[in-house]
């Protein structure tokens, strides 16, 4: 045990490990906040779709070789797609879920194609793997990326707290909210934009294929045990922070990929919470 | 000026009219039941009154200081709500959001208002219970309390008793009558239940192939009303 602790202290002396921990925790917190809303509004698939869009956007950024502007560019493309998806969701010609499937699969294909046509390094499959599963990118964050992540997380958390009551109203009953004068369309749009921001932030932690896990698992786990919106939201946030801390530390100590370790920890927590929930209901 | 007047309304979706040239007025204290066959446009009419669906033609006007976003609304339950993790208090309080405007948080006066509404609906003891654990009748009381938080004048109910058993249905009707008589809130209700409509409502609006608008007594004498009440009072 003391050996493990020593190893931990040793690793924590590296700035890149500390950076990874800070960004990982912030990203997980943001992702979990809107998870409850997304799960309840049956919007979880939009998060999934957008994460594939972010993969495509990352490929474009890599091809354009704009390393300094990579994150802003990805952010812009993903936000744009979030708005598009929400708009087409209201359109009756192409149904919402079909539109999401179309855009997400399309973005995956275009992204992979671009990466192959304009290879930026000799190890394409390694690049693809790391964008999809985020194997090492959290450990190679630059200081600018860390600061950007902190600022964006702060904005997301602040927005969420200020809009908490509106988000609850729009989630629970959109028609009632609109009838009593809440511009539900505008709030839906804002939720989609925030989700896009969260997804781009989370790409560094878990890679684009595993982002949905960060959004959905804490909310689903919390919903097993808690019975008010506030307690579910708080519990999801706490769970998410604990899971990502644990996941990152385990991955550093056991030398496993960060993203999948975090997700596995979340799966384990979900299983435990489901069990407790089932026992409680007895 | 009436509390609510609909003038020459044409209703429908995407340019397809299902109901043309509908005019009626609702005055303070009225209890109006809207009856009609499935697909006759009852729910569309209600959404138009609430400003959720724009009318294809005509106008909805509110009077006596009532604004369109000050109408209490009891919608039909949606799938999302059935397993929603929220406490009764949180849901009732969300009825006050029209008062929030750009303020992010509820004030003490909003909380007190929610508590009064829960007391009126006799669900104060359930305030911290989870919505999804309640019975159908209790859930309707919660949504009714929320609607009361949103309004002082006019409440719109979309089939408030569908899916409830006869005893709970009767309780619900009594509750609505109390809101109308004692709190002086005007009620507009969509219903399939003609017998109850004739028993409780002061006015009836029948839409469909023939349109009727008048008092409940007049409706009983009209051709449509006599036909329906003769056939055991079930409108289908």
Q: Which of A117-121, A223-227, B118-122 shows the lowest per-residue confidence on average (mean pLDDT)?
A: A117-121
pLDDT of residue A218: 94
B-contacting residues in A 113-142 (Cβ below 8 Å): none
Confirm or reject contact between A281 and chain B (CB < 8 A). Answer: no
Residues 6+ apart with CB under 8 A from A70: A58, A61, A62
Residue A236 binned pLDDT confidence (cut-offs 50, 70, 90): very high
Task: Report the distance separating Cα A245 and Cα A20, nearest Å.
Answer: 10
The number of beta carbons lying within 10 Å of the beta carbon of residue A188 is: 18
- Write the CA distances from A4 to A252, A253, A265, integer angstroms: 11, 8, 19
Q: Is A280 on the interface with B (CB under 8 A)?
A: no
- The nearest alpha carbon in chain A to B52 belongs to A179
The tens digit of pLDDT for each residue in B136-149 reads: 889 999 999 999 99
Average pLDDT, chain A: 84
Q: What percent of chain B has pLDDT over 70?
A: 94
Lowest mean pLDDT among A120-124, B107-111, B144-148: A120-124
Do the Cβ atoms of A251 and A206 come closer than 8 Å? no
pTM: 0.85
Are B69 and A165 inside 8 Å of each other by CB?
Answer: no
Element (H, E) at B71: strand B71-74
pLDDT over 70 (residue A92): no
Show me where the domains of chain A are located. Answer: 2-281
Question: Cβ B104–A227 below 8 Å, yes or no?
Answer: no
B34 secondary structure, DSSP code: E
In whole angstroms, what is the distance from residue A175 CA to residue A169 CA? Answer: 10
Question: Can you give the pLDDT at residue A95?
Answer: 63
Nearest CA in chain A to B157: A176
- Dihedral sign, Cα of residue B142, residue B148, residue B150, residue B155: positive
Q: Taking the domain A2-281, which CATH number applies?
A: 1.10.3470.10
Superfamily the domain B1-66+153-236 falls into: P-loop containing nucleotide triphosphate hydrolases (3.40.50.300)
**Mutation to test the B interface, candidates A173, A221, A225, most B Cβ within 10 Å:** A173
The count of other CB atoms within 10 Å of the CB of residue B14 is: 6
Contacts of B16 in chain A (CB under 8 A): none
How far lies A9's CA from each of A16, A258, B91, in Å? Answer: 13, 18, 47
Distance CA A74, CA A65 (A): 13
Our CA angle for A197, A200, A203, nearest 5°, is: 145
Domain ranges of chain B: 1-66+153-236, 78-151
- A155-180 residue pLDDT tens: 999 999 999 999 999 888 888 888 88
Q: How far, CA to CA in Å, does A277 sit from each of A46, A82, A241, A243?
A: 28, 34, 21, 19
Strand partners, B6: B24, B60
Q: Using 50, 70 and 90 to split pLDDT, how confident is the model at A271? A: very high
The mean per-residue pLDDT over the stretch B184-201 comes to 88
Instruction: Nearest by CB to A179, from B71, B80, B128: name it.
Output: B71
CB contact A183 to B (< 8 Å)? no
């Amino acid at each position: 045990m003391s050996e493990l602790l020593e190893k931990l202290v040793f690793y924590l002396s590296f700035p890149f490990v500390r950076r990874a921990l800070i960004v990982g925790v912030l990203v997980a917190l943001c992702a979990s906040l809107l998870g409850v809303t997304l799960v309840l509004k049956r919007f979880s698939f939009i998060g999934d779709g957008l994460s594939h869009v972010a993969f495509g956007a990352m490929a474009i950024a890599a091809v354009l070789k704009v390393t300094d502007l990579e994150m802003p560019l990805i952010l812009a493309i993903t936000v744009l797609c979030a708005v598009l998806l929400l708009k087409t969701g209201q359109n009756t010609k192409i149904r919402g879920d079909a539109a999401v499937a179309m855009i997400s699969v399309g973005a995956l294909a275009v992204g992979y194609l671009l990466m192959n046509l304009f290879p930026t390094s000799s190890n394409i499959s390694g690049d693809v793997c790391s964008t999809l599963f985020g194997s090492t990118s959290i450990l190679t964050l630059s200081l600018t990326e860390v600061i950007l992540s902190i600022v964006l997380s702060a904005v997301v958390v602040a927005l969420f707290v200020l809009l908490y009551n509106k988000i609850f109203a729009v989630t629970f009953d959109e028609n009632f909210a609109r009838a009593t004068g809440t511009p539900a369309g505008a709030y839906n749009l804002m939720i989609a934009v925030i989700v896009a921001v969260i997804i781009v932030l989370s790409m560094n932690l878990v890679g684009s294929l595993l982002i949905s896990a960060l959004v959905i698992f804490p909310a689903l786990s919390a919903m097993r045990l808690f019975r008010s919106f506030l307690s579910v939201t708080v519990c999801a946030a706490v769970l998410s922070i604990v899971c990502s801390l644990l996941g990152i530390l385990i991955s550093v100590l056991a030398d496993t990929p960060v993203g999948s370790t975090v997700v596995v920890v979340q799966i384990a927590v979900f299983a435990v919470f489901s069990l407790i929930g089932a026992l409680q209901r007895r | 000026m009436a509390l609510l007047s609909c003038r020459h309304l044409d209703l429908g979706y995407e340019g397809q009219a299902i109901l043309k040239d509908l005019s009626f007025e609702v005055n303070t204290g009225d209890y109006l039941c809207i009856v009609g066959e499935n697909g006759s446009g009852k729910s569309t009419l209600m959404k138009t009154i609430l400003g959720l669906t724009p009318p294809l033609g005509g106008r909805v006007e509110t009077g006596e200081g009532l604004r369109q976003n000050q109408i209490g609304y009891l919608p039909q339950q949606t799938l999302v709500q059935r397993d929603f993790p929220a406490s009764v208090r949180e849901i009732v309080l969300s009825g006050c959001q029209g008062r929030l405007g750009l303020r992010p948080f509820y004030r003490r006066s909003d909380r007190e208002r929610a508590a009064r509404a829960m007391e009126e609906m006799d669900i104060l003891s359930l305030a911290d219970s989870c919505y999804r654990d309640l019975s159908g009748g209790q859930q309707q009381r919660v949504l009714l309390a929320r609607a009361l938080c949103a309004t002082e004048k006019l409440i719109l109910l979309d089939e408030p008793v569908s899916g409830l058993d006869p005893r709970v249905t009767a309780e619900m009707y009594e509750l609505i009558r109390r809101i109308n008589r004692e709190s002086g809130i005007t009620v507009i209700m969509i219903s399939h239940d003609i017998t109850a409509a004739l028993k409780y409502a002061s006015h009836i609006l029948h839409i469909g192939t023939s349109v009727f608008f008048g008092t409940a007594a007049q409706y009983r004498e009209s051709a449509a009303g006599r036909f329906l009440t003769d056939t055991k009072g079930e409108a289908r």
